[in-house]
Amino acid sequence: AQTVTQSQPEMSVQEAETVTLSCTYDTSESDYYLFWYKQPPSRQMILVIRQEAYKQQNATENRFSVNFQKAAKSFSLKISDSQLGDAAMYFCALGSGTYKYIFGTGTRLKVLA
Amino acid sequence: EAQVTQNPRYLITVTGKKLTVTCSQNMNHEYMSWYRQDPGLGLRQIYYSMNVEVTDKGDVPEGYKVSRKEKRNFPLILESPSPNQTSLYFCASSLLGSRGGTDTQYFGPGTRLTVL
């Protein structure tokens, strides 16, 4: 069975500081995708960043970057220069060749002014 | 505008009264899926469809039905809703990944369902 685990229910960061959200996963597939989604209070699900498992280079999108460790099955999200608008629930997700899509339980990020 | 639409956005109903939540996408995506979101549990996949007339169960399919008669539409049917189906429901669509599997999900705005 495929799983996605987010072990941090809640994190806090000072504005302008850096924070890292953790995610581990398990799959027997060789090709898969990993994602971080953001869910602000509006409840809309927004893609933050995407990683293709066959690519060794870590994905980056402006202030957001990942640390993808394929052998360890780890996929953490780093947010640099945190802003008040980054406060949200963050979900790690796995999309694989089985066509199922698995989400973690989420990490609530609070940004302190 | 590329989007996934869901209707209704909010619904309060009673136990046993059949209901349908509609989902439509205008991006010509092959893959469509339904999720439910509950506090502390994240999003859990109910059903998904890889193409027209091809559907399969996700992790929590009990009590739900789906159909995919057209590429753009993927309705979720609750034939006899129960209070434990009170939840926030999301429809999503995506392309199939170039190397297989499911790629970025594009989500609808969500449907808040309450079953009394």
Q: State whether residue A45 sits within 8 Å of chain B by CB.
A: yes
Please provide residue A44's backbone torsions phi and psi, each rounded to the nearest 5 degrees: -65, 140
Whole-number Å distance between alpha carbons of B6 and B89 = 9
Asked if the Cβ–Cβ distance from A44 to B41 is below 8 Å, we say: no
The closest CB to that of B100, out of A31, A101, A104, belongs to A31
Q: Is the separation of the CB atoms in A50 and A34 below 8 Å?
A: yes
Whole-number Å distance between alpha carbons of A13 and B102 = 32
Asked if the Cβ–Cβ distance from A100 to B44 is below 8 Å, we say: no
What was the pLDDT predicted at B111? 98
Whole-number Å distance between alpha carbons of A50 and A70 = 14
What was the pLDDT predicted at A29? 87
**Cα of A31 to nearest chain B Cα, Å:** 7
What was the pLDDT predicted at B100? 67
Angle at alpha carbon of residue B90, lines to B89 and B96, rounded to 5°: 145
Query: What residues of chain A score a pLDDT lower than 50?
Result: none
Whole-number Å distance between alpha carbons of A101 and B4 = 18
Asked if the Cβ–Cβ distance from A101 to B33 is below 8 Å, we say: yes
Q: pLDDT-derived band of residue B27, with 50, 70 and 90 as boundaries?
A: very high
DSSP at B14: -
Q: State whether residue A21 sits within 8 Å of chain B by CB.
A: no
